[in-house]
Structure 1
Amino acid sequence: MSASAGSQTPRAVVTGGASGIGEATARKFASSGWKVIIADIDADRGREIAGELSVQGFDVQSVYLDVTNEAAVQSFSEQVFSLEGGVAALINSGGILQNATRLTSMRIEDFDRILDVNLRGSVLTGKAFGKKMAESGHGAIINMCSLTTFHALPQPAYAMSKAALKTLTEVMAAELGPQGVRVNAVAPGYTLTPAMKDRIDKGERDPSKVISKSALGRFVEPSEIGEAIFFLCSPAAAAITGVTLPVDCGWLVYSVYTNAAAQPA
């Protein structure tokens, strides 16, 4: 069950755990018997989720955390590693989206904010938690990539942040592997999170285009990303590190395949 050694109940920290994929991941780990700490800037929603899961008998806490604040991230990592058993898994799910735009039209302050949260935030948490995990000799870290990690899409700041996270994952895997720490990433496809539903409702996303370009003909569910993350943190993935795993209902392969210049009769 655990990414750590021994029989002690493992603990997972989920940044961005108060909504969407992060919430689904926190629920998956909690229901699988892990202790969970939700770390999110939306402290109120985090407390709601933690309270709901605690009533069900799961060990879930919620704390406020701004992943762009280096001092806060460092202090938080020290606090959670001082707890009995430390931390077996860190899931870097904190991040923000970007609507379609051209690089030449993009506000540079939007670029700065997206890179600050999506990339720098994962660097800060990965650095702080990775060091502690290396000292303990075990652990698993999951970064959150995207379809834009692999293909250029019209979300320039978001795409650059997610492409960089693949490199970060590989660098961390190489550096921390000798100390027993595995580092992987998932690349969610179009996922029906509350944020995605809100964009669909506002006309900022066309669901028919997503479905028509997915091999499985549907959106990904947040819980399906949570399942993939849980697998990568489990002993079943003990030999896997440095990998970015797409969970996209076949969007990457189907969108390219169906746009090929030659198609079978």
Structure 2
Amino acid sequence: MSTNSHLVVVTGGASGIGEATARRFAAAGSRVVVGDLNADRGQLVVSELREAGHDVVFYPVDLASDESIKQFAGAVLESYGVPDALVNSGGILQNAVRLLEMDLAEFDRLMNVNVRGTLVASRAFGAAMCERGRGSIINLCSLTTFRASAQIGYGVGKAGLKMLTEIMAAEWGPKGVRVNAVAPGYTLTPAMQARIDSGERDPDAVIQNSALRRFVSPADAANAIFFLCSSEASAITGVTLPIDCGWLVTTAYSSYAAQP
């Protein structure tokens, strides 16, 4: 796609998949707005990209706060106009926990940031996209969108985001706005590496249960997001695309009662 006039907003753009996505669009010539709660890291990413000649800016945003999202969207729309794409990459993780032992305050925070934050950001930018008559929104789902997980609040939220994606796609499609989601598998982000280092994730279990025998990289997810926002995907809306190195199919295949 021709990207030199494209404006892309990426929440959670200071690290992980969001950072990789911001870098992918910037490398293609898009103007990129990075939004994140971590201002120090966000400014570092933007500085690196600007030094490389890319048109990238940073704005702080707290996805747990409706008012913060409103201010973020208002500043972007006033300064740069309506974005061509919004990537809702901002969110928080959860470690495995038993249902009866989970702190309900953690559940509430996961729902507030991951689900409500995505909804509020999508409404803030989606209204302008609908009025203009075009745009693309990408939500971040997960393997837990499709499979039960001991990450209870995280999994329930990610399953809900699939439905939210489909609802937005159905409602906003007639106004020219496409809405899709990606569902990354075990992705080797800094947050994942920290959990591996602390013993909270077993990397061998991930690798052996993936058909391609590797982790997903942030760039893998970013490339899929880039495609879904491109004109090559102009007929695609309402889908949730797994990017998992074949984890879903391998775990299903290997658990079947009869093996060849």
Please give the TM-score of this superposition, normalised by the length of structure 2: 0.98
Query: Is contact 2:209–2:247 with CA below 8 Å preserved after alignment?
Result: yes
1:196 aligns with 2:196: no
Inter-partner Cα distance in structure 2 for 1:101 and 1:263: 32
- Identify the match of residue 229 of structure 1 among 225, 248, 256: 225
- Identify the match of residue 248 of structure 1 among 240, 244, 249: 244
SS in 1 for 2:182: strand
What letter is aligned with 2:200?
E
What letter is aligned with 2:34?
I
Q: Greater helix share, 1 or 2?
A: 2
Deviations 1:191-229, CA, capped at 9 Å, x for gaps: 000000000000000001001110101100100100000
SS in 1 for 2:99: coil
What letter is aligned with 2:65?
N
Residue matched to 1:32: 28
SS in 2 for 1:94: coil
1:158 aligns with 2:154: yes
Residue matched to 2:182: 186
Query: 5+ unaligned residues in a row in structure 2: which ranges?
Result: none
Q: CA deviation at 1:8?
A: 6.3
- Identify the match of residue 146 of structure 1 among 136, 142, 149: 142
Runs of 4+ displaced beyond 3 Å: none
Inter-partner Cα distance in structure 2 for 1:260 and 1:35: 47
1:5-24 matches, within 5 Å, as 9-24=5-20
Aligned residue pairs total: 260
Residue matched to 2:59: 63
What letter is aligned with 1:75?
Q
Q: CA deviation at 1:80?
A: 1.6
Query: Is contact 2:4–2:30 with CA below 8 Å preserved after alignment?
Result: no
Residue matched to 1:72: 68
What letter is aligned with 2:251?
S
Inter-partner Cα distance in structure 2 for 1:83 and 1:64: 15
Q: CA deviation at 1:70?
A: 1.3
SS in 2 for 1:91: strand
Query: 5+ unaligned residues in a row in structure 1: which ranges?
Result: none
Residue matched to 1:137: 133
Query: Is contact 1:68–1:124 with CA below 8 Å preserved after alignment?
Result: no
Deviations 1:157-201, CA, capped at 9 Å, x for gaps: 000000000000000000110000000000000000000000000
Query: Is contact 2:97–2:151 with CA below 8 Å preserved after alignment?
Result: yes
1:259 aligns with 2:255: yes
Residue matched to 1:98: 94
Inter-partner Cα distance in structure 2 for 1:76 and 1:178: 27
Query: Is contact 2:82–2:125 with CA below 8 Å preserved after alignment?
Result: no
1:81 aligns with 2:77: yes
Q: CA deviation at 1:81?
A: 2.0
Which region of structure 1 is more displaced relative to structure 2, 135-144 or 77-86? Answer: 77-86
What letter is aligned with 1:125?
A
SS in 2 for 1:196: helix
> Share of identical aligned residues, percent?
57
What letter is aligned with 2:248?
L
